[in-house]
Structures are given as structure tokens and as C-alpha cells.
């Protein structure tokens, strides 16, 4: 998987590649999906959600340019897989999930696999985790209509936010927003992607979307 799907497509960070080799992806999937864990595709998990294809997970994490010891915030815990990859990289990991069932399941799996230091919060991810800010990197696993101001505010100077943004629910542009000063940000376009909508106060719906 790492050689053929990730490294061959340009992901070069040894931290990311080594972490992707070590985290057992099948442990984050329903039993019936485990045989397909290392396929180059997204897969269904509980609550009608999905786990992103391995390459997208690696690419988005790589785009944050994190180093060991950095503080990382993930919006959309899902199964907990990406949080485990970040933890394996040696980051301090904070992850927010709006669906209570997924947050509970992710905590259990992460604990069983030795990633108990990952902080999991059941809350509106569009508001981030202000009490734990600032973060060196923020990654969002759902498509937003605009970049949430709350997430920009929680970036450290020099920190990078990787997020799918688009006014269409079926297609987004993956953006990297870098905080260059107290009120200054630079935005880079990375690629086109398709993600489920980011629900919440600063996402689609404009109100609380905690299940």
C-alpha cells in the first residue's frame, strides 16, 4: 500500500510513510470490510460515514508538514485511523467528532492499539478545540462551504490548515491555509477532492450538528 499507492504518488515524508506502514488499517474497519483495508479506495464505517482512501489520508497529513512533537487537530475523527497515523508520527493529537457513536468507538480502538494519548472530543468540529489551541497543523476530513474562521484562529503562527472547500456538495478544492502572522494567511490550492459535507455552526447547516 505505502509503496504503490502513496510513495509512488509523491508523498515523501518519512514520518508519514513510516506511520502509514505501522498503523493497522483493518482494525479501524467493520469486520466485513477488513479484507479490503489496504485497497486504494474509501470504505464504509459506522453511522453512514466512510474512511478515506489511504493516499488521501497520507497526502492531507503530508500537506500539513508536521514534525515530531507538533500539535495536530483533526476535524472528523471517523474511525480514528488518521488520528492514529498522526500519533504514530509523534504528534500530540486532538480530534473532534460530531457523531457520538463514532467518537466512542474511536476512543476504544485507539486505546486498544496503544494510542490512548490521543484526545477525542464529541463536539461541533467547525468550532475546533479552542481550549487546546494553538495547533501546528489542522486537518479537516469533510467539505466546508468556506474556511471556518474558528479553525484559522486556532492555528499557531506558521501553522497549516488543510481543508476541502467548495460550494458544491459533490466536489471541493483541497486548500492549505498557512498562518503567516497574527492576521495574515496564505492559501494554496492542492487538488480536487470529494468529501462528505462539514456540518456545524461554521459549516453546512449553520447550526449545531452534534449527533
Catalytic positions: 52
DSSP characters over the chain: -IIIIIGGGT---HHHHHHHHHS-GGGGS-GGGGGGTTSSS-EE-GGG-EEPPHHHHHHHHHHTT--TT-EEEEE--TTSHHHHHHHHTT-EEEEEES-HHHHHHHHHHHHHTT-TTSEEEES-GGG--GGG--EEEEEE-SBBSS--HHHHHTEEEEEEEEEEEEEETTEEEEEEEEE-SSS-EEEEEEEEE---B-EETTSEESS----
Amino acid at each position: 500500500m505505502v509503496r504503490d499507492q502513496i510513495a509512488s504518488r509523491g508523498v515523501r515524508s518519512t514520518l508519514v510513510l513510516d506511520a502509514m506502514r505501522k498503523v493497522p488499517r483493518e482494525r479501524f474497519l467493520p469486520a466485513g470490510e477488513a479484507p479490503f483495508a489496504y485497497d486504494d479506495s474509501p470504505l464504509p464505517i459506522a453511522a453512514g460515514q466512510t474512511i478515506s482512501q489511504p493516499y488521501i489520508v497520507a497526502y492531507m497529513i503530508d500537506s500539513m508538514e508536521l514534525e515530531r512533537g507538533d500539535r495536530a487537530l483533526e476535524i472528523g475523527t471517523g474511525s480514528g485511523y488518521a488520528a492514529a497515523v498522526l500519533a504514530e508520527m509523534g504528534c500530540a493529537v486532538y480530534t473532534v467528532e460530531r457523531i457520538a457513536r463514532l467518537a466512542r468507538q474511536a476512543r476504544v480502538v485507539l486505546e486498544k492499539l496503544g494510542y490512548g494519548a490521543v484526545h477525542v472530543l464529541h463536539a461541533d468540529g467547525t468550532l475546533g478545540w479552542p481550549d487546546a489551541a494553538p495547533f501546528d497543523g489542522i486537518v479537516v476530513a469533510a467539505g466546508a462551504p468556506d474556511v471556518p474562521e474558528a479553525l484559522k484562529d486556532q492555528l499557531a503562527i506558521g501553522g497549516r490548515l488543510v481543508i476541502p472547500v467548495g460550494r458544491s456538495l459533490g466536489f471541493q478544492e483541497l486548500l492549505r491555509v498557512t498562518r503567516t502572522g497574527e492576521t495574515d494567511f496564505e492559501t494554496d490550492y492542492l487538488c480536487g477532492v470529494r468529501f462528505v459535507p462539514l456540518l456545524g455552526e461554521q459549516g453546512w447547516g449553520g447550526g449545531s450538528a452534534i449527533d
